[in-house]
Amino acid sequence: MTPEEDKLYKEARKRVRRKRKFYSHVLTYLAIASFLTFINWYSSPGHWWVQWVWIGWGIGIFFHGLGLFRQNIIFSNEWEERKIQEEMERMKRS
């Protein structure tokens, strides 16, 4: 494997692991939210406290997903590489 392929492989592996953690987070949320919904329904059907768990944890999942998938929208790897090159040029001139 060439050094470029090795670097690409490591970056791809890192991205896949981050996605796996996100999907695992979503599945855990669904399982626990379902369990807590059942407990809430069974123990006190007139008082729904479980909605706060859904909302709070759902916000956490939203930001987790945003952190995972937004990287290519605004601050892509190309943007970062351009900024590094600009900074290197600026440092050479000073």
Per-residue pLDDT tens digits of the chain, which is 94 residues long:
788 888 889 888 988 999 999 999 999 999 999 999 999 999 988 899 999 999 999 999 998 998 888 765 566 677 788 888 889 988 888 7
Does the predicted TM-score (pTM) go above 0.85? no
Q: Let me know the angle formed at the C-alpha of 48 by 45 and 52, rounded to the nearest 5 degrees.
A: 155
The total of other beta-carbon atoms located within 10 Å of residue 64's CB is 16
pLDDT at 73: 57
Q: Are 86 and 69 a contacting pair, CB within 8 Å? A: no
**Domain limits of the chain?**
3-93
pLDDT at 68: 84
pLDDT at 92: 87
Alpha-carbon 19 to chain mean position: 7
